[in-house]
Structure 1
Amino acid sequence: MSVYGCYGRRCAAAFSAGTRGSAASGGRGGQSRIHPSSSVHNALNTVWRWVNAFDRKGNKALKTGRRGRRPGEQKALDARQEARVRRAVLGKYPDQVALPGLVWTRPQVRQLVRNWFGIGLSLVTIGKYLRSWGMSPQKPIRRAYEQNPEAVARWLAERYPAIAKQAGKDKAVILWLDQTGLRSDASVGKGWAPVGKTPVVGKTGKRFDVNVMAAISNRGELYFTCFTGSFTGPVFLAFLDRLVRHLDRKVHLVVDGHPVHRRIMVRDWLAERVDQIQMHFLPGYAPELNPVELLNGDIKRHVAQANPANPAGLAAAAATHLRRRQNQPEMVKALFGKPEVQYAAG
């Protein structure tokens, strides 16, 4: 064994015992002897690997080289294989290639590569491939099987443009309306805490809920009401009555197909006020076309942090947040920036 190797092994042993090596000289040709650096604190396994490599190849073994794949080295997937996987991920669902699940995840893509080519890749490598294909992890939009794609296409291409044109002639405002329920037992969400010490949030053991009805425009306007109990025709008409009395221009109101919206009493009320308000129905089972759905999510995320003790507290928390949004028209207008509702932004 060389002087360097012997000395290196003594240093490695001293390192494992918690001692620090000191600089020494006097080896071959007056070169400094190799020892583990106390400032870097290299792992013991790394030190032994250096010592064994020196025993085999001398100084050449300790020369640092370029990290990563060298130019010209083959990737895990060749161009043909990569193109085939990319086409599958971008153009098909997992169940179309004999894999479980509704959306693509890194483990599923890894399994696809293994099934097709017998190549095992790490999740990190799969993630790099996915990002190089212009993809990113995203929360999927839920879409009902009952949705009629032709009705959605007709709404986007014909019905809504006609509503916008008529609203322009009437010098009217287009408002989108929706209702949502807030529950006392809603999840507070994640927060930072020391490892192994899950935070405890005090909550009432009673369950209660409050409903919110809101209408927004792509100009940043927001109108709302909070109520308890069921959503009924009188509740809906009370809100509409306040709306038309508050606004000094005609309203084109876009709503979903909730049964209350179609009540005879609602139709009769609207028929008497055609100069003040007109109501238009979104395609069935297409909530993603309504920007108020995004406001509903915003309300729930913020109100969950309030941790109310009773229905009045829950309603107050919702009203406080919505009043804040009324004073932030840019935030309301930003709700129309999501691709599914950009059609309504103009």
Structure 2
Amino acid sequence: MARKGRRATFEEKVFALRLLGGSMSPDRVAEALGVGRESVFRWKRQARAGGIEALRIKKAPGRPRRLTPGQEQTIKAVVRDVTPRQVLGTAVVLWTRALVAMVIAAWFGIDLSVTATGRLLRGLGLSPQRPAYAALRRDPAAITGWTTVAFPAICRRARRRGTVVLFADEMSMRVDHRCGTTWALVGQTPVVSAGAGRRSVKMFSAVGADGTLRYRLGHGAMDRWAFLGFCAQLLRTITGPIVLIVDGSSIHTARAVGDFVARTGGRLRLFFLPAYAPEVNPDEWVNQNVKARVARQAVADEHELAAAMHRSMRRLQKRPDIVRAFFADPHLAYISP
């Protein structure tokens, strides 16, 4: 039955007309359905004028759209594909609702409020997001060449020789590195006691698609000598030839490193990733995993930091399934297990 304070359904209106057709008075029909007497007479008039279908509840049309469908799709393409710098000539490269409203006013002569612009963008399937930044000197052709030509050739030679292929990288983590969130009362920011200062721990690591993981921690400078120490550790702990894939930083391209590699008699070979393409190096996932876990522990000094990093890396060594899962990243699809 219909209740006062809401609209009656189509079925209830049809039922009311049937009751009227059965000689029940409008007052009794209204009482039976819990609606006003005027509603019953209105339904009767609507059915007489337009038939039973006229009783269906019609959605209010609302305010008409200010932009045509074509104009809306143009705005969607602009926000998706270009930056405000390219469109408006500003120094800003991130879209805001106000900037989109400026484009709409300049191109179509239609003034939309910031709120209406936000509704329009969400209706077009857009949302505010934190962008990923790519270096201006990044070379997409070189990245494509690496993933489709250079690396497959390295893998073919490595399989013939029984060579272990590892991706290596290094990172430095400071005692005051913080990330993550916690629960607290609204408006009351929690305080966590932790160490401070600029002291740091350096880490070299190397990872393979089969779950192999090696690392070396240190407190000294992150230079070519520290990298050579890590290379020497790899040669001691891994039997057979090793292919080590690194980025082109000066630590890896130093003459001392080249001389060391030459003295290994082919047991160690270095190959270099394209510049400004960290996403094609799976060891970046190792760094992110360690930082995310360690930063939540609020260490007091560099010694506690080193111990926490060691525990995190040992965990990954004992869980090669986690390491192999890093290679599921779409950017790493070019790497065969």
TM-score range, shorter chain: 0.7 to 0.9
Shift of 1:309: 0.6
Q: Which residue of 2 is the match for residue 260 of structure 1?
A: 251
Cα deviation per residue 1:109-162 (whole Å; 9 max; x = unaligned)?
A: 45544543325325244223125xxxx665433222223333333323322222
Q: Which residue of 2 is the match for residue 18 of structure 1?
A: none
Kept after mapping to 1: 8 A contact 2:196/2:300 = no
Aligned with 2:296: secondary structure? helix
Cα deviation per residue 1:43-80 (whole Å; 9 max; x = unaligned)?
A: xxxxxxxxxxx9xx9898xx99566868xx96554321
Q: What does 1:1-346 correspond to in 2, within 5 Å?
A: 29=27, 75=65, 77-98=67-88, 101-104=92-95, 108-117=99-108, 118-120=110-112, 121-131=116-126, 138-345=129-336
Give the letter aligned to residue 80 of structure 1.
G
C-alpha separation between the residues in 1 aligned to 2:102 and 2:240? 58
C-alpha separation between the residues in 2 aligned to 1:105 and 1:244? 53
C-alpha separation between the residues in 2 aligned to 1:163 and 1:314? 37
Give the letter aligned to residue 95 of structure 1.
R
C-alpha separation between the residues in 2 aligned to 1:101 and 1:65? 48
Aligned with 1:155: secondary structure? helix
Relative to structure 1, the CA distance from residue 254 to residue 115 in structure 2 (aligned partners, 3 Å threshold; closer, same or farther) is same
C-alpha separation between the residues in 2 aligned to 1:111 and 1:337? 41
Give the letter aligned to residue 71 of structure 2.
Q
Q: Which residue of 2 is the match for residue 41 of structure 1?
A: none
Give the letter aligned to residue 202 of structure 1.
S
Kept after mapping to 1: 8 A contact 2:168/2:205 = yes
Normalised by the size of structure 1, how large is the TM-score? 0.73
Shift of 1:301: 1.6
Figure out how many residues of one structure are paired with residues of the other and give that number. Answer: 295
C-alpha separation between the residues in 1 aligned to 2:226 and 2:274? 23
Normalised by the size of structure 2, how large is the TM-score? 0.75
Over the matched positions of the two proteins, sequence identity in percent amounts to: 30
Q: Which residue of 1 is the match for residue 50 of structure 2?
A: none
Cα deviation per residue 1:15-54 (whole Å; 9 max; x = unaligned)?
A: xxxxxxxxxxxxx95877xxxxxxxxxxxxxxxxxxxxx9
Aligned with 1:176: secondary structure? strand
Kept after mapping to 1: 8 A contact 2:100/2:117 = no
Give the letter aligned to residue 297 of structure 2.
A
Kept after mapping to 2: 8 A contact 1:110/1:123 = no
Kept after mapping to 1: 8 A contact 2:240/2:267 = yes
Contiguous gaps of at least 5 residues in structure 1? 1-7, 9-27, 33-53
C-alpha separation between the residues in 2 aligned to 1:172 and 1:259? 25
RMSD after superposition: 3.5
Cα deviation per residue 1:246-269 (whole Å; 9 max; x = unaligned)?
A: 122321111111212122222121
